[in-house]
């Protein structure tokens, strides 16, 4: 007698990527509370045990989702920052637009990313990805200081001020206090005010 397989055949080229895509869709549509490895297995069409080969538990899945988000955001920031010949203000605006664009496109994922980076059990790999995202702005600030384009001071502190301003815009959009199109359309002026302040010029 031929023994029949007890589970459905795996039909994805990359199970981990398929699980992360399904998890992000669930996060977007139902929230983090609806995420479970068993439900992901059902939606992806694999055995209940299959996700355990990649994520030991839900916390590991959340960390992987956050890491994937940071890696994608960092790619967008790197592409925006790699534009030689632009002025400091133009480069800052490009980075701001890349960050805000990601925040508008993936608000639930961004919230998870910020939550997981502060978790005591977050991985060293996630911490490195967080540092890289912050470092994109810090490197731009430090370079502008060397060129004499902006004031001297701790580049990380200056970056924190800029990041807080941009994340504030993202939070306003996420809470429906500000339209995404309006924020993106006014981003040039937002960066200009951030860089030059409110004194008459």
CATH of the domain at 119: 1.10.357.10
Residues contacting 179, CB < 8 A, separation 6+: 173
**What's residue 116's pLDDT?**
87
Note down the domain range covering 111.
Answer: 83-196
- Whether residue 136 is contained in a domain is answered as yes
- pTM: predicted TM-score of the whole model, two decimal places: 0.84
148: left (phi over 0), alpha (psi -120 to 50) or beta: left
Tokens found for residue 107? 């608000």
**What's residue 8's pLDDT?**
44
**What's residue 119's pLDDT?**
79
Return the closest-CA partner of residue 62 out of 22, 32, 30, 104: 32
- Whether residue 77 is contained in a domain is answered as no
- Whether residue 35 is contained in a domain is answered as no
Mean pLDDT, the chain, rounded, equals: 88
Q: From CA 155, how far away is CA 141, in angstroms rounded?
A: 6
Size (the chain), residues: 201
**What's residue 32's pLDDT?**
92
Q: What is the mean pLDDT of each run of 10 residues along the chain (201 residues)?
A: 43 79 94 91 88 89 94 94 86 94 94 86 87 92 92 94 93 92 95 87 67
Tokens found for residue 99? 């960050």
- Whether residue 40 is contained in a domain is answered as no
- Whether residue 50 is contained in a domain is answered as no
- Whether residue 43 is contained in a domain is answered as no
- Whether residue 41 is contained in a domain is answered as no
**What's residue 73's pLDDT?**
96
- Look at the chain and report how many structural domains it folds into: 1
- Whether residue 201 is contained in a domain is answered as no
């Amino acid at each position: 007698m031929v023994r029949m397989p007890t589970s459905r055949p795996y039909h994805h080229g990359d199970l981990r990527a398929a699980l992360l895509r399904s998890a992000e869709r669930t996060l977007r549509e139902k929230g983090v509370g609806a995420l479970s490895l068993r439900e992901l297995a059902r939606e992806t069409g694999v055995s209940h045990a299959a996700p355990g080969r990649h994520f030991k538990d839900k916390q590991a899945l959340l960390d992987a989702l956050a890491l994937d988000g940071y890696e994608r955001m960092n790619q967008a920031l790197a592409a925006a920052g790699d534009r030689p010949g632009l002025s400091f203000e133009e480069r800052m605006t490009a980075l701001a637009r890349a960050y805000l664009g990601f925040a508008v496109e993936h608000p639930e994922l961004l919230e998870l990313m910020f939550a997981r980076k502060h978790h005591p059990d977050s991985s060293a790999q996630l911490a490195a990805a967080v540092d890289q995202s912050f470092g994109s702005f810090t490197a731009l600030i430090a370079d502008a200081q060397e060129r004499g384009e902006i004031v001297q001071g701790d580049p990380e502190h200056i970056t924190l001020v800029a990041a807080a301003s941009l994340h504030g815009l993202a939070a306003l959009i996420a809470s429906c206090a500000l339209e995404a199109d309006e924020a993106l359309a006014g981003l040039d002026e937002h960066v200009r005010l951030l860089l030059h302040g409110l004194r008459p010029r």
